[in-house]
Amino acid sequence: MLEVKSLNFAYRCGRQILEDVSFSVPSGACLAVLGNNGAGKSTLLGCLARLLRPQRGRALVDGEDLLAMSAAQAARTVALVSQFAPASRLTVYDMVLLGRRPYLKWDFTAADRALTEEALERLGLEGLALRYADQLSGGEGQKVQLARALVQQPRLLLLDEPTSSLDLRSQYEVLGLVSQLCREKRLTAVVVLHDLNLALRFCGRFLLLHGGRVYAQGDPSVVTPRAIRDVYGMEAEVRELDGVPVVIPSFSAGGAG
């Protein structure tokens, strides 16, 4: 369970990026953070990943304040999957094993290696275990990041546009895995996404940001044509197809509306 309470972030001598952002996500749910460029999506994720320090506000994970934790404690609570899989010259096995870094004393134990091997198998990466990470495809790289996040045994999983550099098939595969893992491990996930239809397909909760403020939050019903017009500045229809809402933008070359 993640509860964010009146988060405020501004760059030094800059404009306010996040203003009084509050929301909550229950355990096992996947929250899609939506909004146009500059709405503060990545900043919000940066604050939750402790890469940025918010001026005010709290982020509670199962009641514990994330922003007050030590670096190691936070790393045992939150895992981050970034937009691009890192192209380092480490084997996939070692990349995933790094997820145990927050638990490391002097060297990794047999238990750490067992968890790593389990995660590799869970994500279908056994065959690639000894491949160097810079030889992987985009989709494989994102699965490696997911496996690393998994062995971190976090309670909160943050994903920053995890599918933006992937082909169609990998996009569905990776997000499908994320929502599956969330249900299985009772993880809370926060995903920044640009594709509304992917979000509607795989996420149960939605947070719409507009100009650094929360426009709406809740179940898929908050994604309405009106909300899309206000947040993205363009007209769209929302239709239901086999029980899944689908957004169909009606874009004309002259601009929106």
Partner 1 sequence: MKPTTVDTGRAYRRHLGRKRLTLLVLLGILLLACLLSVCAGSAGLGPGQVAAALLGGGTPESRTIVWSVRMPRAATAVGVGFALAMSGCVMQSVLRNPLASASTLGVTQGASFGAAAAIVALGTSAGGSVTAAHPGLVTLSAFLGGMATTAAILLLSRVGGASPSALVLAGVAISSMFTGATALVQYFADDVTVASVVYWTFGSLGRAGWGEIGLIFALCLLAFCYFFWNRWNYNALESGSAAARSLGVRVDALTLASLTVCALAAAAAVAFAGCISFIGLLAPHMVRRFTGSDYRFLIPGSALAGASVLLGADVLSRVVIPPTVLPIGSITAFLGAPVFLSILLKGGRHGCWR
Interface residues toward partner 1, by CB under 8 A: 49-51, 71-72, 74-76, 78-80, 82, 86, 88-91, 93-95, 98-99, 101-102, 104, 113-114, 117-118, 120-121, 126-127, 129-130, 132, 152
Q: How far is the CB of 80 from partner 1 (least distance, A)?
A: 4
Intra-chain end-to-end CA distance of the chain, in Å: 39
Cβ atoms 212, 33 nearer than 8 A: no
Nearer Cβ to partner 1 (101/213):
101
Q: How far is the CB of 135 from partner 1 (least distance, A)?
A: 11
Nearer Cβ to partner 1 (73/250):
73
Round to whole Å and give the CA distance between 65 and 45. 16
Q: How far is the CB of 164 from partner 1 (least distance, A)?
A: 16
Q: How far is the CB of 45 from partner 1 (least distance, A)?
A: 10
CB neighbour class for 112 (10 Å; exposed up to 12, middle 13-18, buried from 19): middle
Nearer Cβ to partner 1 (10/90):
90
Nearer Cβ to partner 1 (2/49):
49
CB neighbour class for 158 (10 Å; exposed up to 12, middle 13-18, buried from 19): buried
Task: Please count the other Cβ atoms lying within 10 Å of the Cβ belonging to residue 152.
Answer: 23
Q: How far is the CB of 237 from partner 1 (least distance, A)?
A: 38
Nearer Cβ to partner 1 (124/233):
124
Give the CA distances from residue 234 to residues 43, 51, 252, in Å, rounded to whole numbers and listed in that order: 23, 32, 10
Q: How far is the CB of 51 from partner 1 (least distance, A)?
A: 6
**Helix/strand/coil for 195:** coil
Round to whole Å and give the CA distance between 236 and 213. 22
Round to whole Å and give the CA distance between 181 and 186. 8
Burial 238-248 (b: 16+ CB within 10 A, else e): beeeeeebebe
Nearer Cβ to partner 1 (71/168):
71
